[in-house]
Amino acid sequence: MNTIKIECPSCNGTGVYAGMAEREGAAVVCVTCKGSGCTIYTYKDFTGLKTAKGIKRVYKHGYGYFISTGDVVFGAITVNMNKEGVSYSEFLSGKKPNHIEKIACPMLADQHECQKIKGFNDECSELHGSSLLGININKCNQQANKAKCWDRFYRR
């Protein structure tokens, strides 16, 4: 194990914290570094990707659902998860899994990428009939049309 002294990431090295409860010039002692402005970071040198025991398949994301291998029921649809993702040996060889398009729309899968696509969010709001800001993405009325949303996502 290696240790290094680093600037406290919680207080940016100031030793104090002033958040929404501290007002008019008030601050509290940083709880992470206890006022020192620094903290000790312990790490191991990276020597290569290690293998995990018992893993059969790797998926890009779980999208807030319980996932497993085999058939999994997601509301009204059953997905054969053995046909999604990649095998663990493929993953160890460098292959990366794709999104599971049957259970997640692009906004649920990768809002950050959706926001990079000019007009994508506006079109989602238009299809939904109102702004998607602040709603549960799973409540979008276009859930049955995920394939069309994925087409818009990949069309870029």
Q: How does pLDDT run across 99-139, given as a tens digit for each residue?
A: 999 988 898 888 888 889 998 888 888 877 766 665 667 67
Place of tokens 């030793």: 15
Closest-CA residue to 49 (of 85, 89, 99): 89
In this structure, are 38 and 71 located in the same domain? Answer: no
- Cα-to-chain-centroid distance, residue 11: 25
pLDDT score recorded for residue 94: 95
The band of 144, judged by pLDDT with boundaries at 50, 70 and 90, is confident
pTM for this predicted structure: 0.70
Which amino acid type is present at position 9?
Answer: P
Query: Domain residues for 76?
Result: 49-104
Q: What is the C-alpha separation between 137 and 152, in angstroms, rounded? A: 17
In this structure, are 35 and 66 located in the same domain? Answer: no
In this structure, are 39 and 7 located in the same domain? Answer: yes
Number of Cβ atoms within 10 Å of the Cβ of 37: 15
Dihedral sign of CA atoms 112, 114, 115, 117 in order: positive
In this structure, are 17 and 6 located in the same domain? Answer: yes
In this structure, are 53 and 75 located in the same domain? Answer: yes
pLDDT score recorded for residue 128: 73
In this structure, are 141 and 115 located in the same domain? Answer: yes
| DSSP-derived 3-state class of residue 4 | strand
> For the chain, how many structural domains are there in total?
3
Strands of 14-147, DSSP E: 16-17, 28-29, 38-43, 57-58, 71-74, 77-80, 86-87
Number of Cβ atoms within 10 Å of the Cβ of 101: 17
In this structure, are 60 and 94 located in the same domain? Answer: yes
Q: How does pLDDT run across 78-96, given as a tens digit for each residue?
A: 999 999 999 999 999 999 9
In this structure, are 28 and 58 located in the same domain? Answer: no
Q: How does pLDDT run across 4-28, given as a tens digit for each residue?
A: 999 999 999 999 999 889 999 999 9
Which amino acid type is present at position 116?
Answer: K
| DSSP-derived 3-state class of residue 52 | coil
Q: What is the C-alpha separation between 79 and 77, in angstroms, rounded? A: 6
Residue 143 has pLDDT above 90, yes or no: no
Q: How does pLDDT run across 25-68, given as a tens digit for each residue?
A: 999 999 999 999 999 999 999 999 999 999 999 999 998 889 99
In this structure, are 62 and 27 located in the same domain? Answer: no
Last residue of a domain, one of 84, 104, 124: 104
